[in-house]
Chains A and B, each alone.
Chain A
Amino acid sequence: MVFSAKTSGSDEWKAILSAISTLVEEATFEATAEGISFRGMDPSHVALIDISWPNSAFEKYECDGDIKFGVRIDEFSKLIKRSDKTEAIEISLSDNMLLISIGKNKQYKMRLIESSATDTPLPKIPYDTRISLATGLFDKILGDVQVVSDYLTIKTNATKSEFSGKGDSGEVLISLQKQQDELSEISVKEESIGTYSLEYLNPIVKAVGTASGSIVCEYSSAKPLRIEFKVANMGRIHFYLAPRVES
């Protein structure tokens, strides 16, 4: 079986691994002729990450079968962090080890762990609302809400999105419209309002951070939120987060 995947820099791996590390300690990647993918939920099944990394995003990609390999994320991360931004990374498999070549002359071997067999489905939900904004702006909003609340409420109608939070000490409201430096896209089938935990949102946005210039948020009232992080040269990271609802 042939498998090797080479990227021209290390940013993609760093972004992916830090995104996954916010949810799980162990991850099973799947490699096919089409590319590398990962899908997994956090232990409490509140959030799900779905990563699709197409072969076209690699400098060189070879895979002639369907391969699964399991890694401990903290160990893998530690090795990848030994690379400079511009150093090429090439991974391949041999004898239950993951070979990681960094730059011209560094090669690590990392022991693989038993890969989990479970196939996680994706939530099936129609999204009534779709907005797009800069990742940095979204990160700032989360910080603004965090100072008064543990939860972010997003309310969107045809013309604006309101990000709000309420806590024991007070409330916050941030209102954005479709214009430069605010929302680059706003598309609403029905006014939508959803509440999501910052305990999950903050780490993932920080983790992917600067690797992704902008995000697309899609959701419906009291339904999961899906955030798409667009990472240059990589394809996409989808982050799904179940809502908090008053019942």
Chain B
Amino acid sequence: MSPNAQDIRKSIEQNWKEYLSRYGNLFSSDSISGSSPPSVFVGSYGYPKVGVGPMVPPIHGDTSLLDLPEKWSGKTLEDIVNFRLKLVRGVQNVSVAHPQGRYIESLQELAMSSNTPDSDIVFEKHTSPITTIDGESAPFGPIGEVKTAKFSGMSTNQTIEKTYYDKDLKAEDAVVSLYESGIEISKIQKCFSIGMFGKERKLVPTRWSITATDDIISKSLVAEILDYQTIDSYQVFTHEHLGNIFSVFLFPHRWIFEMEEAWYTEKGEIGFGADAEDANGIDHYPSIAGAYFAAKLGVAEHLKRKQRQAGVLVLREIRPEYAVPVGVWQVREAIRAAMSKIPVLAETIDDGLSLACKHMSISKSEWLTKGTTLKMLKQKSIADYF
């Protein structure tokens, strides 16, 4: 039997206590020294004046794994939470409108470094051992107000640096061009949030920058996909991790995309959320928030690679075992993992839908009534009559 949410939370708490006692001196000290993965964080509380700073673990060496979700596949929820709690977050209150000055510039340099620079942070007072979990960003550990921050031995990523100095490049174009040159999305997102792109630069809270980066990249991918031929079979891709079950159903159609989520409430009832778009794009902020764009990106990457377009239905069942939300990245990486597998083929749209729902505790008819895919399929294309 798989552990339930309570067991998982209990074990995470246990680990956290052990960690606190091991690194107890960290919290009775007003400084930290370690290698930043590298990592910067922009808060959203108090916007437009927000807490901005580096994240540093009390560890020297290659700490890159601590803030690189692209490398977290196969890790357990506990592993991931433990990575994150090791990161001490330094903050200074900064107005988002003017990302200038030595402090911000040093953070920008940190964000575009390709190694894990030595970091020495002195705090105004002792850090407080609190944790923050907002669901969009990955969680992280204690917070302290930064008095001074010094980074040394930084090795700058040249591709990002070029974009950084190009003040005529629009932020959207900067994001897309870095993505196309193979830079990890988690890295682009950090540079985006610390105000390194665009004509009029500003800081963007980390949780918004995650959504914005996925949105910009997936939109650009979909624009290319629209020129490709539609697939000619019904394909079902699945992946399960961290107490989340995903199904991606591709069917022959011009690009339409719907993502549905179902979760269990504290009372054991089932909650639903769904959002959809056609080739005109989505015209509202999705009710399922950042997960929508993260999933769209994962599917669009696949279609771009295959040079095909398709109708898409993504289903995500969130099991109670998903005790701690670890961030939208897990949706993106789960969809990428699903799309890298060989799909199960179905004969008809109905068989495909059945296959997509097979491993879930939510029935096909429930998914279909909560979503709009069937309704969207009633609309014919003018090209059907050429």
Contact = CB atoms under 8 A, between A and B. Distances in A.
Interface in B348-386: 377-386
B280 A245 contact: no
Nearest to B349: A247
Given A246-B378, A247-B377, A247-B378, A41 B383 contact: yes
Nearest to B379: A244
Interface centre among A44, A47, A244, A247 (most CB of B within 10 A): A44
A125 B381 CA distance: 14
A123 B382 CA distance: 7
A121 interface: yes
A244 B380 contact: yes
B226 interface: yes
Contacts of B289: none
Interface centre among B254, B377, B380, B383 (most CB of A within 10 A): B380
B377 A45 contact: no
A71 B26 CA distance: 62
A46 B381 contact: yes
Contacts of A43: 226, 278-281
A44 B385 contact: no
A42 B226 CA distance: 12
Contact of B279 (A44, A121, A223, A245): A44
Contact of A242 (B256, B281, B381): B381
Interface residues of A, number: 24
B378 A45 contact: no
A43 B255 CA distance: 9
A224 interface: yes
Q: Is the interface of A mostly helix, strand, loop or mixed?
A: loop
B378 A242 contact: no
Interface residues of B, number: 18
A133 to B, nearest CB: 23
A243 interface: yes
A73 B379 CA distance: 26
Interface centre among B255, B379, B384, B386 (most CB of A within 10 A): B379
Contacts of A243: 380
A223 to B, nearest CB: 7
A124 interface: yes
B382 A47 contact: yes
A44 to B, nearest CB: 4
Contact of B382 (A45, A244, A245, A247): A45
A245 B380 contact: yes
Given A46-B379, A243-B380, A224 B385 contact: yes
A241 interface: yes
A223 B385 contact: yes
A145 interface: no
B383 A45 contact: yes
Contacts of B383: 41, 45
Interface in B252-282: 254-256, 278-281
Contact of B254 (A45, A124, A223, A246): A45
Nearest to B377: A247
Interface in A13-72: 41-48
Interface in A91-110: none
A197 B379 contact: yes
Contacts of B255: 44
A151 to B, nearest CB: 9
A123 B280 CA distance: 21
A240 B382 contact: yes
Contacts of B254: 44-45
Nearest to A196: B379
Nearest to B280: A43
B382 A224 contact: yes
A45 B385 contact: no
B378 A48 contact: no
A122 B382 CA distance: 9
A42 B254 CA distance: 12
B73 to A, nearest CB: 34
A245 B378 contact: yes
Contact of B385 (A47, A125, A244): A125
B385 A124 contact: yes
Interface string B213-242: 000000000000010000000000000000
Contacts of A242: 379-382, 384-385
20 contacts: A42-B279, A43-B281, A44-B254, A44-B255, A44-B279, A44-B381, A45-B383, A46-B379, A46-B382, A121-B386, A122-B386, A123-B386, A197-B379, A223-B385, A224-B382, A224-B385, A240-B382, A242-B381, A242-B385, A244-B378
Given A44-B280, A45-B383, A245-B378, 12 more contacts: A43-B280, A44-B254, A44-B255, A44-B279, A46-B381, A122-B386, A123-B385, A224-B380, A244-B379, A244-B380, A246-B378, A247-B377
Identify the 8 closest CB pairs spanning chains A and B, nearest first: A123-B385, A43-B279, A44-B279, A44-B278, A242-B380, A242-B382, A45-B381, A244-B378
